[in-house]
Amino acid sequence: MTNSPAETPDSPRDSTITDALVVADETADETAEETADSGTFDRLVEPRSENRLALEEGVWHQISPKYVWVQLISSGSFLAIVIAATLVLTLGLNQMWAWIPGGIMTVLLGWTLAIMPRQARAIGYQLRADDLVFRRGILWQRFVAVPYGRMQLVDITHGPLDRGFGIAQLKFVTAAAATGVVIPGLEQATAETLRDHLIAVAESRRTGL
């Protein structure tokens, strides 16, 4: 059976479609890169140790400073509840044992609030040709590379405080649960643009385009 000209793999029509897909993919990459740097931190924080996991070359995008405020408000509110409950139990009900758990939780929450800004500045992601690399952490560093072709679901979530500050978190679900990634503190527009970009790139990788 002879293939018709339209079905020939090297036909001009197939070449035109491929070129159009490449141009569209490059345009989407540029749009995602530009949107990702809107309203974010200007410098990615790294551990000072020489034995740290060094950042790879390329453009690293960061999250919004609004994420810090959301975390400070939520953790600060919980800290206030812990202090109030400890005072009621110890001073009001004469339950002196409450000083121990109350004091421990107060110290831990206070330490969390103190290092929160630095932790937020250590969160970043990079859009590479074949995968997305996510990193976070200073004392405990984590680097995860998620291949575009393995992404099965890209989900945007945000709570009441997130909506109030106009941010959201983006979650990638893959076939392996261990490689799941959640990028917090993204501007709403950035999260939506990045979601659409990743879905399009993942679909093109799965279909072999």
Domain boundaries, given as residue ranges, for the chain: 13-63+123-206, 67-117
Q: Give the global pTM.
A: 0.78
pLDDT exceeds 90 at position 177: no
The region of weakest confidence among 33-37, 91-95, 193-197 is: 33-37
- What is the side-by-side strand order in the sheet with 151-157? 151-157, 167-174, 181-187
At residue 186, the pLDDT reads 95
Q: In degrees rounded to 5, what are phi and psi of residue 91?
A: -85, -35
Q: 42-66 pLDDT, tens per residue? A: 888 888 888 888 887 888 999 999 9
13-63+123-206: CATH number: 2.30.29
pLDDT exceeds 70 at position 17: no
At residue 207, the pLDDT reads 66
